[in-house]
């Protein structure tokens, strides 16, 4: 299963919930990078050097890391890919991997109105003391801008602004739309599910229902 969704759509949360529901490993390239670096593997050292130099990890290196992960025994019964592939070259390489493995493929694409995401993101606040998270719309503190636990003034992350989010959406569209076009042209099953402001578990149930229905 390949899971896609715009920044702030809750894609990461859905990947975790679906992995638990379907009893499949969730595979995130970010998690793989961190694990490889932590274990000081050859690939990990390559990634660490690139990141320390503020460079971009190449498609070739990302593909090698993902391929190695998919060869692990826990992936024998299937897996959920979260955040990969991000580019058409990565998608082509993945297609070749899956063909060699004889895998069926399904793409789950979360459709969430960007305005809804912006409204939710810019309302996020956190406590700088205890780390508690709030949302001024869906999960407000008992007192305006004050943490319920310790009374500290809540803060907003620097990148939780509309300007930053719009730029992230633009980058996502530029990268992801060609990848989705590739999947459709290659005959992948694509399941699109509309998300929004509901509970994450509700969206998980909707995804499962669509998967079972088609």
Residues with active-site annotation? 11, 86, 124, 157, 168
Residue 211: CB atoms within 10 A of its CB come to 16
DSSP 161: S
User: Contact 6/172 with Cβ under 8 angstroms?
Assistant: yes
**Residue whose token pair is 């390489």:** 93
Sign of CA dihedral 144, 145, 148, 151: negative
First CA to last CA distance, the chain: 14
Q: How far is CA 205 from the centre of its chain?
A: 18
- Distance (Å, whole) CA 12 – CA 145: 27
User: Contact 134/140 with Cβ under 8 angstroms?
Assistant: yes
Q: Is the peptide bond before 177 cis (omega within 30 degrees of 0)?
A: no
Beta bridge mates, 124: 135
| Token pair listed for 157 | 């992350």
| Token pair listed for 71 | 């060869």
């Amino acid at each position: 299963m390949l899971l896609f969704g715009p920044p702030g759509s809750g894609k990461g949360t859905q990947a975790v919930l679906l992995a638990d529901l379907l009893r499949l490993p969730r595979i995130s390239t970010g998690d793989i990078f961190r694990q490889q670096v932590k274990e000081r593997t050859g690939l990990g050292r390559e990634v660490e050097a690139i990141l320390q130099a503020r460079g971009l990890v190449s498609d070739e290196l990302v593909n090698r890391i993902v391929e190695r992960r998919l060869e692990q025994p826990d992936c024998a019964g299937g897996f959920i890919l979260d955040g990969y592939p991000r580019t058409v070259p990565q998608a082509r390489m993945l297609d070749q991997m899956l063909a060699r493995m004889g895998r069926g493929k399904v793409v789950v694409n979360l459709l969430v109105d960007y305005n809804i995401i912006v409204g939710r993101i810019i309302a996020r606040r956190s406590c700088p003391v205890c780390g508690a998270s709030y949302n001024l719309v869906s999960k407000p503190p008992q007192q305006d801008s004050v943490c319920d636990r310790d009374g500290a003034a809540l803060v907003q992350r620097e990148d939780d602004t509309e300007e930053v989010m719009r730029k992230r959406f633009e980058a996502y569209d530029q990268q992801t739309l060609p990848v989705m076009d590739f999947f459709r042209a290659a005959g992948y099953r694509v399941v699109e599910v509309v998300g929004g402001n509901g509970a994450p578990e509700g969206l998980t149930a909707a995804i499962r229902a669509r998967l079972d229905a088609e």
